[in-house]
Amino acid sequence: MAMLIKDVMNRNVIATKPGVSVREAAKIMSKYHIGSLVVLEENKIIGILTEGDILRKVIAQDKDLDETKIREIMTQKVVTINSDKTIEDAVNLMMENRIKKLPVVDDDKLVGVITASDIMVVEPKLIEAISNLISLKIPGYRGG
């Protein structure tokens, strides 16, 4: 029997609003030791903010952390998954889209989040697929 997203997902999703400053978002991410924030407007997902967004679109471009709002730098095309899908579905979606985090949405409502790390813990046989996903960011990385 395949393991489902709802069995593994983290139901305590830390979300934020689009008008929050990047500095505030970074403080929230730091406090909860998370690498991304789901951005909600009227309970609908309108974006996701990742550490990479902050690095590439703010720090590297010398933008002001207090002036820059999440809405200006968040990734707007958010790939989501339903809680009734399998862990394997999640891994396939992550690999297709080269992402490590998937918000879980049922009936247009955010109900959780599942990450590559969550999956590695419960499905060791998928570790190879996920390690390939994680190493995508490192040019020339061959493992080891």
| Region of poorest pLDDT, from 92-96, 127-131, 135-139 | 135-139
Which pLDDT tens digit goes with each residue over 28-82? Answer: 999 999 889 999 998 899 999 999 999 999 999 999 999 999 999 999 999 999 9
Q: What is the pLDDT of residue 134?
A: 63
Instruction: Give Cα separations from 125 to 19, 95, 119, 131 (angstroms).
Output: 41, 15, 10, 11
Q: What is the pLDDT of residue 144?
A: 41
103 Cβ contact list (under 8 Å, min separation 6): 13, 38, 45, 48, 78, 80, 81, 110, 112, 113
Nearest to 111 by CA among 5, 2, 22: 5
- Alpha-carbon distance of 83 to 45, in angstroms, equals 16
Residue ranges and CATH numbers for the domains of the chain are 5-135 (3.10.580.10)
- Alpha-carbon distance of 110 to 92, in angstroms, equals 20
Confidence of residue 117 (pLDDT cuts 50, 70, 90): confident
Q: What is the pLDDT of residue 116?
A: 86
Confidence of residue 110 (pLDDT cuts 50, 70, 90): very high
Helix, coil or strand: residue 67: coil
pTM over 0.75: yes
Report the DSSP beta bridge partners of residue 86.
4
- The single-letter DSSP state of residue 3 is P
Q: What is the pLDDT of residue 70?
A: 97
